[in-house]
Amino acid sequence: MKWDILIPIIIYILGLFAIGAWAFLRKKNAPEGGVTAEYYIGGRTLGPVVLVFTLLASAASAGTFIGVPGLAYQGGHAWVLVFLFQAPAAFITLAILGKKFAILSRKHNFVTITDFLRHRFESKAVTAFASLGIVLFLVAYMVAQFVGGARLLVSITGVSYPVLIVAFAGVVALYTGFGGFMADAISDTVQGVIMLAGGVVLWVAVLVVLGGTTPMAEQLAGSHPDLGTLPGPSGIGLGDMFAYSLQFGLLLFALPHVAIRAMSYRDSKTAHLAMWTGPLIMAIFTLGFGAMGVTARVFFPDLDIVDLAVPNMVVDTLPGALAGALLAAPLAAIMSTVDSMILVVSGTIVRDVYMEYFKPNLSDRRASNVGTLVSILIGVIVLVLALRPPDALQYLVVFAIAGLQAVFAVPLVGGLYWRRANALGAMLSMVGGVAWYIASTQWFPAMAMGILPIVNAMVVAVLLFVLGGYLGSAPPRHVLVKFWGTQAEIDRLGAVPQGGVRQ
């Protein structure tokens, strides 16, 4: 074992446990009525720095630091350009959802995405389908994250993959179960600063080894000239570019673990600062680590597992302790993203299934305790699924991301901004969009019409949403008052549940 590399990582993980313990005590001391909000969205108290990094970690993680470099290793700079479309994720999320989500979640105590959908559409079918989509697609997404973390450790230690996946999943499940959202957000901030500094250090080390940018470019041009051309080995055309810009740019806000951040920040100033600094930091991450995947071809011409391109470069070009410190950052980013996903799935199961159908009168503190147990159980389930990893985890990430976007993008935006939006439109949109996406990727590729299936799936989702909006009944007045009325009008509705919806 390479203990000089492992020791900084172990120290970092212990630091994460300390953050988790602090967050657990903070949740324990929260007043009755605010415990669940503390556990799932940090009590809506995030400041600008924490908000930026927790948004970026939720949108990036294993995809940016392992998956994208792996694709760039295979397909060249075209993949780096494609994934630059994720740079404005923080801006778009807060611009589309931020202000309205923040106001509505405070007025009506929303702490999950399905809380919003339940109150907006007052449909058990919409709530149930949204819950199912969250569980299925986020579990697939988490498998990719666990695989990425374990592969990082394989490249460092040489220990077998099954042993490491068990150890990695155990750390994440315990840390998530007890630490909750606030531990996740604070650790995002710490690891984000380390990643910025570490990425610079890695590029300096690589350029020193290769003798500078000119020798590096000459070596790449001589051995792999196609990697520097567009589309190069990737075969990506303009249609694919547009589709990926949609999937990894505009629609990232629809991922539940990203969207929930729009309910968690402290004030408008926080949101505005995050909107302008987030894209810059994400662009640095994507360019720096993506281009590193192409450069890895100089060091490792024939990698069997392309996702190990950057981890192997870190180990080969940096001293042990420094390599361990740098590798701790993307490892922690993966942990933080899995934290976010586990908390979203846990919140869905506890609030939208258990409390909705079995224990509607569960106390606030008891609901938080049940959430802890469910979070740990989810970690165990994902561990079992991750024991047989895919060859290139980024493809699994793409499938899960598009599935979530097909389910949530249209109902979230339409529910926030279109007063005519109703339960029929939401249900048709969710079912039709995800059905089209899955069918075109798994069984009938002709349905994609030669472009990425997410494009057609979103067109179908929008059309069905509008069709249902006009064919179905208009939303009742009390729903319109709750979402567009003044506080005085909302207060006049009273505390009695409307339409059978839990307040």
Encode pLDDT of 355-411 as tens digits.
877 877 777 778 778 888 888 888 888 888 777 766 555 566 777 888 899 999 999
If you write DSSP's letter for every residue of 321-368 in order, what string do you get?
HHHHHHHHHHHHHHHHHHHHHHHHHHHIIIIIIIHHHT-TT--HHHHH
Distance between CA atoms of residues 493 and 206, nearest Å: 64
Residue 28 vs residues 35, 153, 261, 443: alpha-carbon distances, Å: 7, 33, 22, 49
pLDDT tens digits, 209-223: 878 778 777 777 777
Whole-number pLDDT of residue 423? 94
Q: Mean of the pLDDT values across residues 132-146?
A: 83
Total length of the chain: 503
Q: What is the pLDDT of residues 19-58, one digit of tens each?
A: 878 777 777 776 666 666 666 666 566 777 777 777 777 6
Please report whether residue 483 resides in a domain.
no
Number of domains in the chain: 1
Q: How far apart are CA 429 and CA 251, in angstroms?
A: 15
Residue 171, pLDDT score: 77
Q: Which domain holds residue 381?
A: 3-394
Count of Cβ atoms closer than 10 Å to residue 197 Cβ: 13
pLDDT of residue 496: 42
Average the pLDDT over 440-447 and give the result.
81
- Whether 476 maps to a domain, the answer reads no
Q: Which two tokens stand for residue 102?
A: 């923040």
CB contact burial 324-363 (16+ within 10 A = b; e otherwise) = bbbbbbbbbbbbbbbbbbbbbbbbbbbbbbbbbeeeeebe
CB 329, CB 353: distance < 8 Å: no
pLDDT at 420 over 90: yes
More confident residue, 238 or 401: 401
Work out the average pLDDT over 64-77.
80
> Is residue 478, in this structure, part of any structural domain at all?
no
What's the pLDDT at 495?
45
- If you count DSSP H runs as helices and E runs as strands, how many of each does the chain have, helices first? 24, 0
- pLDDT interval class at 166 (50, 70, 90): confident
Query: Lowest mean pLDDT: which of 81-85, 316-320, 333-337?
Result: 333-337
State yes or no: pLDDT of 491 exceeds 80: no
Which pair of structure tokens corresponds to residue 143? 């498998």
Total Cβ atoms within 10 A of residue 193: 13
- Whether residue 51 is contained in a domain is answered as yes
Predicted confidence at residue 464, as pLDDT, reads: 96
When pLDDT is averaged across residues 409-430 and rounded to a whole number, the result is 94
Residue 392: count of CB within 10 angstroms of its CB:
18
pLDDT, position 48: 75
Single out the residue of 227, 197, 152, 411 nearest to residue 322, CA to CA: 197
Share of the chain above pLDDT 70, in %: 86
State how far the alpha carbon of 83 is from the alpha carbons of 267, 381, 408, in Å: 30, 30, 21
Cα separation, 79 vs 70, in Å, equals 10
- What is the average pLDDT across 270-279? 84
User: Residue 503 — pLDDT band, cuts 50, 70, 90?
Assistant: very low
Direct distance between the N- and C-terminal alpha carbons of the chain, in angstroms, rounded to an integer: 54
Type of residue found at 214? T
Domain contains 433: no
Residue with tokens 């529910």: 415
Give the pLDDT score at 427. 95
Answer for the pair 54, 282: CB distance below 8 angstroms, yes or no.
Answer: no
* Residue 46 bridge partners (DSSP): 265
Here the CATH number for the domain that contains residue 107 is 1.20.1730.10
Question: Higher model confidence: residue 155 or residue 201?
Answer: 201
pLDDT band with cut points at 50, 70 and 90 for residue 155: low
Q: What is the pLDDT of residue 502?
A: 40
Confidence of residue 206 (pLDDT cuts 50, 70, 90): confident
**399 lies in some domain:** no
Averaged pLDDT for residues 176-194 = 75
Residue 323 placed within a domain: yes
Q: What angle do CA 141, 342, 502 make, to 5 degrees?
A: 120
Query: What does the alpha-carbon distance between residue 59 and residue 93 come to, in Å, rounded to a whole number?
Result: 10
Residue from 9, 42, 26, 70 nearest 393 by CA? 70
Q: Is 91 inside any structural domain?
A: yes
**Residue 334: predicted pLDDT:** 73
Q: What whole-number distance in Å separates Cα of residue 13 and Cα of residue 103?
A: 35
- Distance between CA 111 and CA 94 in Å, rounded? 16
- Enclosing H/E stretch for 52: helix 48-59
